[in-house]
Chains A and B, each alone.
Chain A
């Protein structure tokens, strides 16, 4: 049950696009289209941003998009805004019927 691998931090200027990667194995990310992404502001509960690799829940901005290639999933945020500054976590289903999270990525909007 090793955590998925995410970069510790990414940054970008307002209006730019950034991508956060999430690397697993063929037993989790690569084996299922069950990757989800969560945004967490300090002191707050996580919020679902993307599910099933690339689907956005109702109410989530279309500036957020997800994709997957092999064992690596990605979250892209376009048109960066100050309110996007937060921690982002990926999650995947695993072959053991568990769920596993990434270590988290701190997004800084410069």
Chain B
């Protein structure tokens, strides 16, 4: 069974940093691209970042470029999102989502981790 479990969310002050993790199991992690998608309270989905299976291709939404860094460790079946210079508008539930290599859709999602940026 495919499982994606996010962790690392919490309350952080504006300007602070946080590192999210996503633990994957039930599939060959190294064969899939992975993404972070976020959802602000009561709002819609927003794509944040994408990383290919071998980390060769990395993309960021303009709203986070230069502040967030996506990475993965295929040996540990884990995906990460390092978030720096956090702003109030980064407050959201952050989901990790699997994307079949060469495809453009998210076929499995984690349950999300809440990040709250507030003083």
A residues near B, CB below 8 A? 1, 3, 32, 34, 36, 38, 40, 44-48, 51-52, 57, 89, 91, 93, 96-104
Contact = CB atoms under 8 A, between A and B. Distances in A.
A34 B104 contact: yes
B35 interface: yes
Closest A-B pairs by Cβ, 7 of them: A34-B104, A36-B105, A51-B105, A104-B44, A45-B109, A99-B47, A93-B104
B95 interface: yes
A96 B65 CA distance: 14
Interface string B93-119: 001010000011111111110000000
Nearest to B6: A45
Contacts of A45: 95, 109-112
Contacts of B112: 45
Interface of B is mostly: loop
A63 B74 CA distance: 38
B59 A98 contact: yes
B5 to A, nearest CB: 11
Contacts of A89: 44-45
Contacts of B111: 44-45
Nearest to A33: B104
Contacts of A97: 57, 59
A19 to B, nearest CB: 19
Interface string B39-72: 0000011110010000001010111000000000
B44 to A, nearest CB: 4
A46 B106 CA distance: 9
A93 B59 CA distance: 12
A13 B4 CA distance: 35
